Amino acid sequence: MKDRMTANFSSELIMQHPLVAGAAGLSAAAALAMWYSVLYSGSEIVAPVIKTIHPHKAVALTFDDGPTPGFTDRVLDILRQHDSHASFFLIGSHVKQHPELVVRMLAEGHTIGNHTWDHHHHGVWHGEAYWRDQLQRTSSALADITGRKPALFRAPMGFKTPPQARAVRQCAMRYIAWRVRAWDTLKISPHTICRIVTSQIRPGDIVTLHDGLEPVRRNCSQESTVQALPEILKILKSRGLASMSLEQALEFPVYQ
């Protein structure tokens, strides 16, 4: 399944973004390239991204939008039971509310990264100052709790713009995208999540799942993700693939 626009993000709204609307007077090919550069998480038109790791007998499971009690803690339990490591891209406002889960992540050998302060869906419209504030507030919250400031950033929904990319560079961070997406924020079963991930995954892939609820999804659930995870890890093990944290798998420091 190729990466595509998040299901709950209106195409009409995206077309209003100056970066996209500015392509209206260009050729169809140029307009398509502009669209692709914003929406496709793996696009490197706006900025370099990392979506694979080098180890040939491992993959990197990553979890977004936490920490969220009731889901994050159970994901951590499952990872510990299977002697596996992962990476968590955290929302700053959630970090402030649940610091004990962040401390636990690091204590159990997982990597933490920046996923903005509030994961606002309309953030893609904003300029450089907005993004710099989102990044710095989240990194400061993490540093206050753990003493570590992340060097890894995952853009909300994977959307990238030039103002955002400038802020990421100014904050000395790198984009982490993915090659496999579980689509587990949709209302799908644990079996479907497992099938989506395991049917696509290959050595070296970064996989994105969700252990948390972004602010606009407060009444939703990641129960299916929690239930799918044990079977995903069992299948990976049967294929000889370890689940590594990005700190274990990447060849550069993941903290500043």
Catalytic residues: 64, 210
Identify the DSSP state of 190.
H
DSSP bridge pairs for 241: none
Angle at 210 between CA 204 and CA 215, to 5 degrees: 145
Question: 61 and 207 in contact (C-beta within 8 Å)?
Answer: yes
Beta-carbon count within 10 A of 191 CB: 12
Q: Rounded to an integer, what distance in angstroms lies between the CA atom of residue 182 and that of residue 147?
A: 31
Q: Rounded to an integer, what distance in angstroms lies between the CA atom of residue 115 and that of residue 36?
A: 21
In the chain the beta strands, taken as DSSP E runs, fall at 49-50, 58-66, 87-90, 111-114, 152-153, 174-176, 180-181, 206-210, 242-243
* Integer-rounded Cα radius of gyration of the chain: 17
At 127 the three-state DSSP class reads: coil
Question: 184 and 222 in contact (C-beta within 8 Å)?
Answer: yes
CA-nearest of 13, 8, 1 to 178 is 1
Residue type, 200: Q
CA-nearest of 215, 213, 216 to 226 is 213
